[in-house]
Each structure stands twice: as structure tokens, then as C-alpha cells.
Amino acid sequence: MEIDATFKRINMTENKNEKLGWINGHWGIFKDLKVPINDRGLNFADGIFETIFILNGVPQLLNEHLNRWEKSARILEMNSPPSKEWLISLIEDGINRSQLNNVNGVIRINWTRGASKQRGIDISNTSHHSFWLEIDSYQPNFESISTIISQTERRNSFSRLSYCKTFSYNQGIQARIEAKNAGFNDAILLNSQGEICCATTANILVKRENNWLTPPSNSGCLPGIMRQRGIDLNIIKETVIEQGTVIGQRFIKAPLIKLFDRIIEEKLMSPSIVVIGSVVDYQVEACSPKPAEVTFPIPI
């Protein structure tokens, strides 16, 4: 099933400088840092992560990201990640070392159950969890894309994994491949009940009669940082979104600035429309028979 759509997306344009990372007490460039080949994050995608946008040297919505990271660890019965105080100090050190004090960038923090002590998926009570950090300079930019609704992949609204930012992006990858093979750029995923849920790496916002709507938290969508801040401020409302609200409509550019200007006015985040934490948000204006509008920013 196809959606004839035009999207605007913020990609991150990579700086040509070497990427910097931290693991086991050491800073270094990516090619010099090593993760054990028996790490459960590598073997089984048994890990969680957060990606945090840096605006002019300042990590955005850092506390919210760390809270979600800690909550994901509890949900998946992992050990508690490193403390916020220690992480904030390490992140500040990384920003200084990467010379990102006055420019934009991105940080990824990773937490796994560590090296496997035995074959199989059973968890050893004596295994030590692993942490590493990645940091790089990036600059947001917009491009237009097209999308379809995936016919092969659906989000499981009953799985606890759907509510955690885990290493496994295989479902999103397969849906993206499906879209590419059909001549589109990306895919929207339905959930177990056949309702609109999310994109391959995105939350979805629907604009209808000047109201911003998003699938409910029990739909199987990832609890996005930007999404939740909008809900807390009554800017975004949760509701079930049926396929018929977006299928068969023509999509044009969305008024992204209008929504995020309001969020900025409410002091939701720093004064920039690109400061949306690590969540990609689709905004779909489904007000038939008028054209609908879609856009989404920054990768997870």
C-alpha cells in the first residue's frame, strides 16, 4: 500500500574529522577502540542506547534522555547504567576534546549486558555490563523524501521491547529496504492492531483541524523525548490514528516551524527548531480533501 508523499527530513551531515569515542576508561578515535566480539550487544543486540543532539556545544534534553535510558534498563531487567553525575562530566569532557563547544554535534551512549560467559542467550549473573560513548560533529539539513506503509513489518504493541531504545533496528531496516525496493525513501509501520504507529526511526505527529495528534503510548511506538514534552505541555494529544486518515492523500511540505515555534515559546527546549533531542518526528496534516503536510527532523 503506497502513500504518495513528500517529506522533509533533518539529516546529519557528517564532519570529516575523526569520530571520538570512550570505552574502558580511554578516549580514542573509532578505529582504535574495540568492543569484545562476545559482547551481548554485538551477539544478540542485547543493549540500549540514547542519541543526544548537541546545539552550540550544549547537549539538548540531556536529563530526559538519561531518564529514559535508566527506565529502559529497569524494564529490560538490566543493571543500572552509570550515574547521571558521572555521565554529564564525561559528556562535557568529550565535547571539549571534540572541540564542539560552539558547534553542533551528536552523542550516543551505549549500555549492554557485557561479554557472554557461555554459549546461548541465558544471562550470567556474574557478567559485567558494558558502557561506551560515541561523539561526533554534525550539522542538520533538510531534504525531501517519499514513503509507503510497510506490508511486511508491524510494531508489536504488546512487547516491552517496543518501549525501549534497544540496539535492534532490524525491523526498521527491513521496512526501509522494502520502501527502497519499491522506489520510496522510507516506510511507515502499523502496529499489531493495524493502526498507524510510527516510522522506521520515528514518532508520528498528525495535524488535524489545528490540533497535533500522535499515536497513544500503548500503540507500540517508542516513547520519544520530543513527543512526550509536547504531550506534557498539551501541545500534542494522544489518539488512535487509523490508516484511512493518511492513505490516499497528497502530501506537501509541513509547517514545521509553526509547531516548534510554539514549543519554543513554551520553553520546551532551546530556541531552535532543530533541537528535538534524538527523536525523529513525522508530522502529517490529514485534513481531507485539502493536501496533507508531512515533515520530520533529526535521526534517532
- Residue ranges per structural domain of the chain: 2-11+141-295, 12-138
Instruction: Report the topology of domain 12-138.
Output: D-amino Acid Aminotransferase; Chain A, domain 1 (3.30.470)
Residue 297 contacts residue 51 (beta carbons within 8 Å): no
pLDDT of residue 274: 23
Res 47: pLDDT: 97
With 0-12 / 13-18 / 19 or more C-beta atoms within 10 angstroms meaning exposed / middle / buried, residue 58 is middle
pLDDT at 296 (0 to 100): 41
Say what the pLDDT of residue 229 is: 84
What CATH number belongs to 2-11+141-295? 3.20.10.10
User: Counting runs of H as helices and runs of E as strands, what totals does the chain give?
Assistant: 6, 15
Residues of the chain with pLDDT under 70: 1-17, 126, 140-145, 244-300
What pLDDT shows up at residue 294? 38
pLDDT of residue 192: 92
For position 124, what pLDDT does the model report? 78
pTM comes to 0.77
